[in-house]
Amino acid sequence: MSEQTLITVKDLSVSFDGTPAVKNISFTVQAGKVLALVGESGSGKSVTARSLLGLSGGTVTASTLDICGHDARSLSDRAWQKIRGNTLSLILQDALMALDPLRPVGREINDGLKEHTALKSAERKQRVLEVLKSVRMPEPDVRAKQRSTELSGGMRQRALIAQALVGNPQVVIADEATTALDSQLTALVLSQLRALKQQGRGILMISHDLAQVAHLADDIAVMRHGEIVESGPTQQILEHPQHDYTRKLLRAVPSSVPRFTALSDLGAEETTSPARKIQDSEQHSPALSVKDLSKSFGKHLAVSSVSFELPRGKTLGIVGESGSGKTTTARMVLGLEKPDSGTVELLGERFSPSTASQRQNLREQMGAIYQNPLGSFDPRYTVGQLLTDALSRGKSKRASEYRKPITQLLEQVELSADLLARNPRELSGGQRQRLAIARALAPKPSVLVLDEPVSALDVSIQATVLDLLDRIQLETGTSYLFISHDLSVIEHMSDTVAVMHQGKLIEHGDTASIFGSPQREYTQKLLSAMPRLR
Amino acid sequence: MVIPLAHRGKSLLMQRNSRSSRILAGAFALPLIGALLASCSSAGSTGSSTQDAKPVTGGTMVYASGDAEPSCLDPHVGGNYPQALVASQFLESLFTKDSEGKIIPWLAEKTEVSEDGLTRTITLHDGIKFTDGTKLTAEAIKKNIEHLKDPNTASSTGYLAVGKVVRVEVKDELTATLKLSSPDNALLESLSMPWTAIESPKALERDQATNCTSPVGTGPFKVASWEHQKAVNLVRNDDYVLPVPNDQRANSTSYLDGITWRFIPEAATRYAALQSGEVDVIDNAQPDTIASAADAGLGHLDAPRPGSANRIELNSSKAPFNDQKVREAFIRAVDANTGVGALFFGTAKRSYSLLSSVEPLGYSDEALFGTDTAKANTLLDEAGWSERDAQGYRTKNGKRLSVRFPVSTNQSVPAEQSLFEQFQAQAKAVGFEVKIDLLDLSSWYGALAKHEYNLVSAPYTKVGPSVLRVLYHSDSTVPAPSGYFANNAQVKNDKLDKLLVQAEETEDEAQRASLYEQAQKIVLEGYYVLPLYDQQNHFLYGKNVHGVGATTAVSSPIYFDTFLDQ
Amino acid sequence: MNTLAWVGRKVGGALVVLWLVASAIFIAIRLIPGDPAEAIMGGPGSQASAQALAAARAEYALDQPVITQYLLYLGKLATFDFGTSYSLKQPVTQVMGEVLPNTLWLSLMALAAAWLLALCFSALAMRAGRIGSQVGNLLEIIAAAVPHFWLGAVLIMLFSSALGWLPAVDNGTGHGLVLPILTLALPLAGFLTQLMRDSLSEAMGSQFALAARARGESRLKLFWRHGLRHAALPALSLTGWAFSSLLSGAVVVEAIFARPGLGRSLLSAVLARDIPMVTGIALFSALVYIVVMAISEGIERMINPAGESR
Amino acid sequence: MSRTAKICCLLVIGLWLLMALAPSVLAPGDPLAINPTQAFAKPGLAHFFGTDESGRDIYTRVIHGAGDSLAIGLAATALGMGLAIVLGTIAALSPRWLDEIILRILEALYAIPSLLMALLIIAFTGPGVGPAIVAVGLSTAPGYARLVRSQIRSLKNSEMLEAATVLGRGTWRKSRNHLIPNALKPLLALVTLGIGQAVIWAAALSFLGLGTPPPAPEWGAMLSAGRTYLHLAWWMSLFPGLAIVAVAVSATLIGRALGGKVKSL
C-alpha cells in the first residue's frame, strides 16, 4: 500500500460566534491508515470531523485544508455536495438515530448513489445489495426494505456502514462509532473498519476511549479543549505518553486494573490501602442470596433459573450482552418485577416474592443506581429537595431541616454544596450520577444494585465515578450488585463475576479465574472481543 | 321615486282591471292591479333605469332569500311568508288586489254572493291549464279547499282563511259554489292570498312529500327541481296564459328563462353576494344596507305586508299588564321614534295603527303613544307599584315589576331586536324589569303556548281588516290543540267581539269601515298594543335587473315582468 | 400486528363507538321534556290535531315500551335506516346523501389547504432568522386563535365587498369555494404549523439529517426526503382531531357562506327539534370521524410501521 | 420559564382578571346604557371603539364582557378537566377491560365534533349559557382525559416511581409526592390553552344565537350582533373579535410558557 496522503489539515481553527472550539490543529489522514482523534466530550473532536465535511456550522479557518486534492477552504455548496459521501463519508455514533427511522435502509443507501452516480434505478438497486453483502448483511434484499427500527443492533450497524460506503469513498470518518455498543457490536464495527483499512481507505476514527482505538489506529492524536496535546504512532502514545492528559486518559481505562486502584487521580499513584471494611462473612448470611429466579414475558423466557450470592461488603459483577436478562434479574432483585419462580433473600430475610408491606422494613437496605439517573429524579425537585426527600423518607422537601446530613452526603460523593439549589437537569452526566449515588446512600443501604451505572459516561468521567464507588465500598462496606455490558468495567470493579447469556447464568466465579481462564466458549468469545490496552 | 314603478306596473295591471271591473260590482275605482300595490306605499321602488330599458327575453335570475328554507314548497302546508314568496312565482290565486287595496278577480272571472251571504259563486276563466297539463276547472276549487281543510295537510294560515267555508259544490265545469257557515265579506281577501292558491287537483293526489317538493300551479314559472339547502330551480312556464290578457306584452310568458331561488341566511353575505353580482335580487334587506344601496346604484323595492303592523302586544290576562295603567305606563315609558329612526335608517315609518299602512281601513292615533316618562311614573305609582328595590326596579307587595319578553329570532330582524333592547333600557328607567329571551321559533311558540310572556311581538299577515278578528276576538284566546292562539294580547271584550263579527258580515262598505274603526279604537285606547311600523318587506336588486315591482295581494313580488340586461 | 388483525380491530372498535353514540342519543332523546310527537308535527306552532299526533306516535313507534323502541331503533340503524326527518319529511339518509358530499369536499379541501399552508410556512420558518421566526411563531398562534365565524365575515368584507375579487357565495365556478376553504383552513394551518415546525426542526437537526448531508444531499433534498415525513407525522396523527374541528367549523362556515352541508342541516335540525335528523347527523359525523381516523392511522402505519398503533 | 416570560404572563393574567372582576376600573361606564342618538358612532376620542346600533359604547362593553366570556371559558374548562381527571385516572389505574371501556366511551365522545356536540346538547336542552358550558366542557373532556390517562400511565411505569419504590415509599406517598403533582403539571398548561379554546367555542355558540342572550356584553353575542352591520360599522365586530383572539393568543402563550403543546388539545 502506498503512503498516499488523502487529507492534510494545517492550523485548523473552528469557532462558533467568536468562541473557539478548535484551535490551530494539524494532522494528516493517509490511505490504508487509521488516525484516531481521542479526547473527552467537548474537546472538539466531532467539530473537527464535521469541518472536514463542511458541516461544522461554525467559522472555519486553516492554512491548509486539503481533502483528496480539493482545497476545502473555498468550496461552493455544490462542490461540497460532490465530495461528501463520494470522496469522504461519515459513520455516526448511534445507528438508530443516524438512519432515518421512517425510511427503509435500502433507500437511505440508495440516496448516496442518486447523488453521486448516473446509474439507473435497477443498477442502483443492484449496487445497494452489493454493498450490503460486502458488510455481511444477512438477507440483504429483505433488509433493504426494512426500516432501521425493524433491524437488530448488528444489522443496523451494518446498514449504517453500508450507507457510508456506497459512494466508495477514499476516506471514512467514524465519529464515536462504537460508543455505548456492547462488546459484540463494538467488535463488529471494529472489524468492519479494519476491512476498510485493508482496502486502502483512509480512516479518521473519533473516540473518547483509548482502549477501543488502540488495536486499530496507526496514529493517535489526543485532543483537549480544542487543541491536539499530543500525537504520534499508537505504540509510542500508549507506551510513552508525554502529556499528563494522555496519561490521565490511559489510566482511566479500567481493564486489567486491579480493584481499588484509582483510575482517576493523576499523580496519586498509590493504591488505596486494602483495609476493607468487610464483616466476617462466616458469621453473617450473605448480603443478597438469589435462588432459581425465572421470569418470562409471554413466550419469551427472559431469565431462567438464575442463582447467585452476594457476600457482604463485596461486589458481584453481572456481565452480558444487551437482551441477556441482566436488567430483568436486577428488577426482580429489587422487587420491581415479580419472579415466576425462585426467591430473593436480603440479609437472610425473604425479600421476594413477597408483598410490598412485608418487605417495607427491608426496603431501605437496598438501593439502586440506574444508567440514566435523570429519569429517576422527580423533575420538579432541586438537588437539595431530592436529598431531603430521601433523608426524610418522603415526608419533607425543606432542605434546611436536613442541612447536616445533606452536607455529609454531598461530601461523600464529592459534590459541591453550591449545587443544592440547582435542578438536576442543569448538572453534567458525572454530577448526576454522583447525585444518584448520594440519594441511594441516604438510607444507608447494605446493598446497592447498579444497573449500567457508567455506560453513558466518557471514559475519564467513568473513571472518577468508579473510583468514588470503590471508596464508598471501602468506607461503608456496602455490597454491590454491579451490572454492565462493559467487560473492562466489570473486571475492574468485581470480586466475583457472573456471565449471563440468553437469560441463563452460564458462568460464575471470582474475577481472576473468569477473566484468566474462562470455561465456557461464550465467555471466551466475549473476552476475545474485549478491547484492552494492556 | 314612485314614477318608475307605476310606469312599470301599468303594462300588466291596467289591463287586468279593465276586465275585472265588470265582474266586481263597481267595487273599484282605479284600474291598477295588486301588483301595483307597492306603488302607493311610501318608499316604493327606486334605482335602476327601468324606463329606458327594453325588455329582453332570456337569462336566469338568481334570487337570494334570507328566510329559512321552507320545508315544503306548497303554501297550503303550514303557510308562512317564505312559502308565499317563492310560491307566488308558480301558483296563482282566484283573486288579487289592486293598488287601492281593492280585491279583483284573477283566476276567477267573476263572483257573486247570495243575499243571505251564505253562498258564494265563483266562475273561472276558460282556457287556463296547470303546468302538468290539467285544465283549470271548478273541480280544482273544490279539491283545493278540501285540501286546505284536511287535518293531514296541517294547513295553518290557509285553514283559518277558509274557516267559514262548509263545502264546495261544482255547478258546471267553470263554476263552483262555496257554502258558508256565516256571511264572510273577507272571503275574497282570503282567497287572494298565496296560502289559498289553486294547485293542480291531479298533483294534490300525490303524497304530501312529493307535492311539497314540486307543487303544480298555473303561474308564469314552474318548479323544475329543488336541491335542498342550495336552491329551488324555477323555469319559465312556456304555456302560461295570463288570466287577464295584456296587449302591451308581446308574449304572455315571462321574460326570464328561470329563477334560481337560493337561501342565504347571513345578511352580510347576502348583501355581499348582491354587490359582487353573484345574485340579482335579495329579500330581507337590512336597513343599513338599504340606506347604502342607492349610492351603490342598486334597486330597492319596499313592499310592506298587509294585515297587522309590527307591534308589541301586552298580555292583559296576567299581572302586571292586567292593569291598564301599567300597560299605558310601559307604552309611555319607551321611546320608539328615536330607535326606529336610528335603527332603520329611515326605511321604516313609525306606525300608530293596528293595521298595515296598505290596509285602507286602518285607523291611526298618534296621541295615544307619545313618550311621557313623567306620566309613566305617575301611572305606576297610581297602580300601586310605588316601592323601588336595590336595583331601582319598582315593587308592589315585595314583588318586582318584572315582565318577560320572548323574542323569536325568526320573527324579529336584528334591528328590531336592538329596538327591544332599547325599550328594555328605557323601561328600566321608570322601574320595569324587562327580561328579553331570544328564542328559536319552536321554543318561542312553546313559551307563548305556556303563557310565559308579558310582552310579545308576533306580526300577522293577512289581506284585509278581518285580520283584526283573528287577532283580537276573544275566541282567539282559546288555544288550538297544539297550544297556539292568535290573540296574544288576550283582549276579551264583548263589545269588541260583537263589532268584529258584525264588520265581517255586513254588506255595506261604509258600515264596515265604521265598525272596524270602532273596534280599532277599543284596542288602541285600551293600551293592549304598542304599534311600531309596517311589516318590513324590502328587496334589493342589481343594476342589471329591470321590471321589478309587481306583487301579489300579500306584497310578495312576482317576477313575470322582470328581465335582465343581457 | 398484521394488517388484517389491525383492520379487524379497527372495525370492531368503530362499531362499539357507533353503538355508544347511538345509545347515548337514544337516552338523551328520552330525557327531553315534551312530546316527541308534537315535534314531529312541527312543534307547538303547528295546529296538529290529537288524531294526527296519535298517528305520528304510531308511525315512529313512540307508543311501544322503551326497550322495544331501543331495539327497533338499533335494528333500523343497522340497516342504515335513520328514519324520516320531522321537518323535511324526507328520509334522513337521502338528505344526508345530498348534503354530506358538500361538507366532506369542503372539509377535505380545507384540510389539504391547511396542510399545504402549514408545510410552506414550516419550510419558510426554517430559513427565517431569529426575529422572523418569532414573528412567524406569533402569526401561527394568532391564526390558530381566530374564530371561524369572525374570519369568514372579515374575508367576505375584504375580498368580496371591498375588493370584489372573490364571490361570497358559490356561483358554480369553484371560485366560491376559495373563501370558505380559507376560512376553515387558516386557523387549522396555524395549529399544524406549530406542530410541524417543532418536528421539522427536530428532524433537520437530527443525526440522520447530518448523515444524509454527509452523503452529499443538498438542504432541499434533505427537506424533501426526510424533513417532510417527520414534519408530517405529528400532523398526520392529528388528522382525526383536525377533521373533527373542520366539521365543527363547517357548521359556522356553511351558515356564513350559505353552502349546503351537514353543518347547516344540523343547525336547522336543532332549531326545529328534528330528532331523526340530529341523530342521523351525529352518527354520520361519528362514522366519518372514525373512517378518517382509520385512514390517517393507515397512512401513519405506512410511513412509520414501528410507531404504536395508538 | 424565563423571568421576563413569567412577568409578562403574570401581567397578562392580571389584566384579564382586572377586566373580569373590576371592569369599572378600566371602563367606568354602563355597558348596557343606550343612547340611540349616538348609534353607529365611529371609533374616536368619545368612544374608543365606537358605538353599536343602540349607541352603547363598545369599549365599555368589551371590557365588561371579559367577565362573562372568561367565566364561560373557565367553567367549561373546569367541567371538561374535572371529568377528564376522573375518567383518565380511572382508565389509567384500572384493569385492562375497564380501561378499554373508558377508552371507547372517550372515543365516542371524541367522534362527535365539538360544535356538533354542543348543538346536540342544545337540541335536547334548548339554548342558553348553561348548555353551552356543558357542551364545550363535554366536548373538550375526551382530549384532556386521554392526556391524563397517558400521563399517569407513563408516570406509573417511570423510573422516577421505581426509584421511589426502591427508596421504600408507600403507594400513598408515591402518589402524593410524585404521581399526582407530575401528572397535573402538564394539565395546568393545558388548562390555559383550553380556556382560550373554550372562549372561542362559547363565542361560536353565541354567534349562532345559541349562547348568551343579548344585551349582555358577551363577546360572541356582540360579534353576532355586529355582523349584521358589517358593511356599515365594522368596529362593532372588529373589537369583540379582537378580544376573543387576544384571550386565545395570550392563553396559548401562557400555556406554552408553562410547557404546554398544542398537540395535546
Q: Each residue of A490-534: pLDDT tens digit?
A: 999 999 999 999 999 999 998 989 988 889 998 988 888 777 776
**Is the separation of the CB atoms in C192 and C114 below 8 Å?**
yes
Contact status of C193 with chain D (Cβ, < 8 Å) = no
Nearest to D60 by CA among D77, D73, D76, D48: D48
Helix (H) or strand (E) run with residue B232 in it: strand B231-236
Are residues D127 and B418, on separate chains, in Cβ contact within 8 Å?
no
Test mutation, B269, B295, B450, B488, chain C, max C CBs within 10 A: B269
Find where cell 434533505 sits: C222
Chain D residues touching residue B424 (CB < 8 angstroms): 215
Chain D residues touching residue A380 (CB < 8 angstroms): 181-182, 185
What is the SS3 assignment for A5-55? EEEEEEEEEEEECCEEEEEEEEEEEECCCEEEEECCCCCCHHHHHHHHCCC
- For residues A84-105, give the mean pLDDT: 84
Q: Which of C208, C210, C306 sits opposite A55 (nearest CB)?
A: C210
**Distance of residue C63 Cα from the nearest chain B Cα, in angstroms:** 19
**Distance of residue D242 Cα from the nearest chain C Cα, in angstroms:** 9
**Distance of residue D92 Cα from the nearest chain A Cα, in angstroms:** 19
Report the distance separating Cα A28 and Cα A10, nearest Å: 9
Q: Each residue of A265-308: pLDDT tens digit?
A: 643 444 444 455 555 555 667 889 999 999 998 888 889 999 99
Q: Which residue of C has its CA nearest to B486?
A: C45
Cell of A508: 460464575
**Is the separation of the CB atoms in A365 and A447 below 8 Å?**
yes
**Phi, psi of A231, rounded to the nearest 5 degrees:** -150, 160
Contact status of D69 with chain C (Cβ, < 8 Å) = no
Name residues of chain B where pLDDT drops below 70. Answer: 1-52, 250, 481-482
Q: Which residue of A has its CA nearest to C207?
A: A98
Cis status of the peptide bond prior to D43, with omega within 30 of 0:
no
**Is the separation of the CB atoms in D140 and D80 below 8 Å?**
yes
**Is the separation of the CB atoms in C252 and C240 below 8 Å?**
no
Are residues C32 and D253, on separate chains, in Cβ contact within 8 Å?
no
Report the distance separating Cα B395 and Cα C163, nearest Å: 56
Task: Indicate the residue type of C285.
Answer: S
Find where cell 322503551 sits: C66
Mean pLDDT of chain D: 83
Contact status of C131 with chain A (Cβ, < 8 Å) = no
Chain C residues touching residue B208 (CB < 8 angstroms): 89
Helix (H) or strand (E) run with residue A67 in it: strand A64-67
Sign of the CA dihedral running B556, B557, B559, B565: negative
Chain C residues touching residue A92 (CB < 8 angstroms): 207, 210-211
Locate CATH 3.40.50.300 in chain A: 1-87+170-251
Are residues B156 and C156, on separate chains, in Cβ contact within 8 Å?
no
**Is the separation of the CB atoms in A98 and A109 below 8 Å?**
no
The alpha carbon of residue D231 and the mean position of all alpha carbons in its chain are separated, in whole angstroms, by 30
Q: Which residue of C has its CA nearest to B442?
A: C43
Find where cell 439517573 sits: A373
Nearest to B77 by CA among B191, B187, B199: B199
Q: Each residue of C6-55: pLDDT tens digit?
A: 788 888 888 888 888 888 888 877 776 666 676 666 555 555 566 667 77
Question: What residue ranges in D178-251 does DSSP mark as E strands?
Answer: none
Give the list of residues 6+ apart from residue A76 with CB closer than 8 angstroms, or none: none
Q: Which of A82, A86, A90 sits opposite C211 (nearest CB)?
A: A90
Contact status of B269 with chain D (Cβ, < 8 Å) = no
Higher model confidence: residue B316 or residue A80?
B316
Chain D residues touching residue B421 (CB < 8 angstroms): 34, 54, 214-215
The domain covering A1-87+170-251 belongs, at the CATH homologous superfamily level, to P-loop containing nucleotide triphosphate hydrolases (3.40.50.300)
Between the alpha carbon of residue B303 and those of residues A341, B283, B307, B558, D255, the distances in Å are: 93, 11, 13, 12, 55
Chain A residues touching residue C305 (CB < 8 angstroms): 147, 150
Report the distance separating Cα B110 and Cα D105, nearest Å: 70
Per-residue model confidence (pLDDT) at position B17: 30
Are residues C289 and D110, on separate chains, in Cβ contact within 8 Å?
yes
Between the alpha carbon of residue C252 and those of residues A277, A353, A492, C184, D68, the distances in Å are: 78, 61, 71, 10, 22
Q: Does residue D132 carry a pLDDT above 70?
A: yes
Structure confidence at residue A112 as a pLDDT band (50, 70, 90): confident
Are residues D231 and B289, on separate chains, in Cβ contact within 8 Å?
yes
Per-residue model confidence (pLDDT) at position A26: 92
Per-residue model confidence (pLDDT) at position B26: 32
Nearest to B57 by CA among B560, B422, B458: B560
Chain A residues touching residue D165 (CB < 8 angstroms): 335-336, 363
Per-residue model confidence (pLDDT) at position C43: 57
Chain B residues touching residue C272 (CB < 8 angstroms): 71, 441-442
Q: Which of D112, D115, D262 sits opposite C286 (nearest CB)?
A: D112
Q: Each residue of A170-204: pLDDT tens digit?
A: 899 988 887 777 777 888 888 888 888 898 889 99
Model pTM? 0.80
Find where cell 308511525 sits: C59
Higher model confidence: residue A152 or residue B388?
B388
Compute the radius of gyration of chain B from its Cα atoms. 23
Report the distance separating Cα A335 and Cα A329, nearest Å: 10
Chains that touch A (3 or more CB pairs under 8 A): C, D
Cell of D137: 366542557
| D57 secondary structure, DSSP code | B
Q: Each residue of A25-71: pLDDT tens digit?
A: 999 999 889 999 998 888 888 899 888 888 888 889 999 888 888 88
Structure confidence at residue D10 as a pLDDT band (50, 70, 90): confident
Helix (H) or strand (E) run with residue A114 in it: helix A105-116
CA atoms within 13 A on the CB side of A514: 27
Instruction: Enter the ipTM.
Output: 0.77
Chain C residues touching residue D123 (CB < 8 angstroms): 269-270, 273, 275, 278
What is the SS3 assignment for B445-490? HHHHHCCCCCEEECCCCCCCCCHHHHHHCHHHHCCCCCCCCCCCCC
Nearest to A86 by CA among A114, A108, A64, A62: A114
What is the SS3 assignment for B532-555? EECCCCEEEECCCEECCCCECCCC
Are residues C306 and A103, on separate chains, in Cβ contact within 8 Å?
no
**Phi, psi of A57, rounded to the nearest 5 degrees:** 80, 0
Are residues A375 and D182, on separate chains, in Cβ contact within 8 Å?
no
Contact status of C95 with chain D (Cβ, < 8 Å) = no
Test mutation, D115, D200, D256, chain C, max C CBs within 10 A: D115
Chain D residues touching residue A370 (CB < 8 angstroms): 159, 163
**Is the separation of the CB atoms in A481 and A333 below 8 Å?**
yes
B49: β partners: none
Between the alpha carbon of residue A142 and those of residues A133, A147, A155, A210, A320, the distances in Å are: 12, 11, 12, 37, 29
Q: Which residue of B has its CA nearest to C172?
A: B278
Cell of B565: 340586461
Structure confidence at residue A481 as a pLDDT band (50, 70, 90): very high
Q: Each residue of D190-240: pLDDT tens digit?
A: 787 788 888 888 888 887 777 777 778 888 888 888 887 877 888 888 899
Contact status of B424 with chain D (Cβ, < 8 Å) = yes
Contact status of C162 with chain B (Cβ, < 8 Å) = no
Are residues C169 and B278, on separate chains, in Cβ contact within 8 Å?
yes
Phi-psi region of A480 (alpha: psi -120 to 50; beta: other; left: phi over 0): beta
Cα-Cα-Cα-Cα torsion D175, D181, D182, D187, nearest 10 degrees, comes to 130
Report the distance separating Cα A479 and Cα A286, nearest Å: 10
Question: Helix (H, G, I), strand (E, B), or coil: what is residue A287?
Answer: coil
Per-residue model confidence (pLDDT) at position A277: 52
**Distance of residue D27 Cα from the nearest chain B Cα, in angstroms:** 19
Contact status of C90 with chain B (Cβ, < 8 Å) = yes
Per-residue model confidence (pLDDT) at position B482: 64
Report the distance separating Cα D85 and Cα D179, nearest Å: 13
Are residues C267 and D108, on separate chains, in Cβ contact within 8 Å?
no
Name residues of chain C where pLDDT drops below 50. Answer: 308-310
Chain B residues touching residue C49 (CB < 8 angstroms): 151, 481
Contact status of D234 with chain C (Cβ, < 8 Å) = yes
Nearest to B36 by CA among B64, B8, B66: B8
